[in-house]
Structure 1
């Protein structure tokens, strides 16, 4: 990170300038066998497209609340940083009835219908695939995002001191997210660009978000994000740690 980085989106900008080709997020779904690896450049491209969708098509801006009803997943990580880029508040597992926009996975669609604003559905299928049949009342993210622009600029400058994240009932500004991610990195054994965290923690706590995205991003490292880790036995975990050159584990 740079001294001027005040939001998660700033951290991504610095990572992109430093080494766009290095891995940033490697995702495993141990229920389906899926593995996806995103470089900094590829991840940043998804963030830009998602931020353009959020700002342009969904009319979200600074202070608007985006309820993220999503598991620990590479696309969730994209949405978290895209909200930061726009200045919207990412409300992880938040109340959709109180949200301006809701972003839902396939298992939470009924709950998401409580949102009276814009609704987006993610199929969470391998390679970012779309729903076979789009859910009624929702935009299919996989249909809407490819046509969005590859570069993003917010209509209004993002204030790093304004609310940016709500998780487990706790609210953080963008600056607080960055400060805590940096401060907690050493306790997570994340020391710099060579650091590679394997996280099997859910995204519905600060600890899960810090280990599974924010601290690796803050130190210029990377994360191996595991969904359905209960399907992986100890031998399988050991092989993954070795093959992915993991330097720290949280599960």
Structure 2
């Protein structure tokens, strides 16, 4: 990756410039059997559309706080990078009542209603499918995002020294996220390889092993949700099939 990258969005831009066709995020849900693989280009397109939704339709501005009530999922990874692109704070598991807007999965809708700002709901269905019926008081992400632009430009430059991520009861600037991710990648020995993570996105370790460390090192992620429900031998086969070089669970 480019040594001048100072935000997670910078890391994604460098990955896109280097090799847009390589896999970046491969997602498994062992409760449903779902598998989704996103190349750098496809992932970046989702990020651009989501950032346009954030900045345009939702009127989010740098410094605003977005409560992300989402599990480890490829769409959560998209939202994390979209927040970085706009310059808003991704508050992982944050209090919706104190957030400017909330992004919720289907299991946290009741809690998300405490947010007085815009509310976005993700069905987290295979292939990014929509809710059969949009939850009351929410906009359905799967309905809103497809019509958004494929390219994104922030209205104002994102300051890498401003708060970008809130997790584990603390806050990190964009530059600090990149610095810690690079250190984690070196410690884990990820390099340009593939890291399989079965950790929750609710703490830094899961966010790093499940997204940021791979981005910072030119690697890719095999992100596994509900890994504890996988049948015997599935993990070993997946490690071999996906050519995983580092496993964190």
| Aligned mates of 2:225, 2:3 — CA distance in 1 | 33
1:145-190 Cα offsets, whole Å, 9 max, x none, are 0000000000011000000000111100000000110011122221
The equivalent of 1:243 in structure 2 is 241
Q: How many residues align?
A: 249
| Aligned mates of 1:249, 1:28 — CA distance in 2 | 14
| Aligned mates of 1:151, 1:115 — CA distance in 2 | 29
| Aligned mates of 1:55, 1:31 — CA distance in 2 | 34
TM-score by length of 2: 0.99
1:219-239 Cα offsets, whole Å, 9 max, x none, are 110000000011114411000
Gaps of at least 5 residues in structure 1 are none
| Aligned mates of 2:232, 2:131 — CA distance in 1 | 33
1:81 matched to 2:61 = no
The equivalent of 1:109 in structure 2 is 109
SS at match of 1:91: strand
| Aligned mates of 1:164, 1:219 — CA distance in 2 | 20
The alignment yields a C-alpha RMSD, in angstroms, of 0.6
Does 178-187 or 146-155 show the bigger shift? 178-187
| Aligned mates of 2:189, 2:28 — CA distance in 1 | 21
Task: Find runs of 4+ consecutive structure 1 residues off by over 2 angstroms.
Answer: none
Gaps of at least 5 residues in structure 2 are none
Residue 90 of structure 1 deviates from its aligned partner by 0.1
The equivalent of 1:9 in structure 2 is 9
TM-score by length of 1: 0.98
